[in-house]
Amino acid sequence: MPSATDHHPHGLEEYNGTHALTRRFTKFAQATAMWSGHPTAFIVAVAVVVTWVVTGPIFNYSDTWQLVINTGTTIVTFLMVFLIQNTQNRDMMAVQLKLSELVLAMKGAKNEFASIEDLDDEELEALHREFRSRAEMASHHLAKRKSRRR
């Protein structure tokens, strides 16, 4: 029986129809995010709004005229939320993996920090308090050293 590594070069997930769909969606989401962040996309959006405003008198500022812009912007916003979230999830995972690699590669680093993003909110808050306390202690010791040198 073929293993996941026989189909995927990194052995991270089994190759199947879902994987292909995910890859296509990822490429689409990244391309859309890149395009929508481009100045040209902003200019197109401004042109649409200006066109809509200019056509107001032609359509007597009717309910249908208002509905066109409201519906259009609502649909675009709704779809963009999913595309942006997908891109953000991928970017965050990539950053986490890079940071994990750095933590694991550093001598003296706490290796359990390589997967710190898996902790729940209370555990993260407890670690935050601990490190804040340690940072304040270190700052206090540095201040003492500086004052002794004077």
Burial annotation 17-44 (CB, 10 A radius, 16+ → b, else e):
eeeeeeeeeeeebeebbeebeeeeeeee
User: Is 100 part of a structural domain of the chain?
Assistant: yes
Residues 6+ apart with CB under 8 A from 5: 11
Question: What would the pLDDT profile of 12-68 be if each residue is shown by its tens digit?
Answer: 555 567 888 989 998 999 999 899 999 999 999 999 999 999 999 999 999 999 999
Q: What is the pLDDT of residue 17?
A: 72
Q: Is the pLDDT of residue 141 over 60?
A: yes
| Domain assignment of residue 99, yes or no | yes
Q: What is the Cα–Cα distance from 89 to 95, expressed in whole angstroms?
A: 10
Shared domain for 74 and 132, answered yes or no, is: no
Whole-prediction pTM: 0.63
Together in a domain, 30 and 100:
yes
56-103 tens-digit pLDDT: 999 999 999 999 999 999 999 999 999 999 999 999 999 999 989 998
Q: Are residues 81 and 143 in the same domain?
A: no
Angle made by CA atoms 71, 76, 78, in degrees to the nearest 5: 95
Same domain for 28 and 101, yes or no, is yes
Spatial contact of 111 and 103, defined as CB atoms under 8 Å apart:
yes
User: Which structural domain, as residue segments, surrounds residue 13?
Assistant: 4-106
* Spatial distance between the Cα atoms of 150 and 140, rounded to a whole number of angstroms: 16
Distance CA 142, CA 147 (A): 9
Instruction: Return the beta strands (E) in 38-132 as ranges.
Output: none
pLDDT at 7: 46
Specify whether 21 is located in the same domain as 94: yes
Q: Is residue 143 one of the residues assigned to a domain? A: yes
**Band of the pLDDT at 120, cuts 50, 70, 90?**
very high
Q: How far apart are CA 81 and CA 73, in angstroms?
A: 12
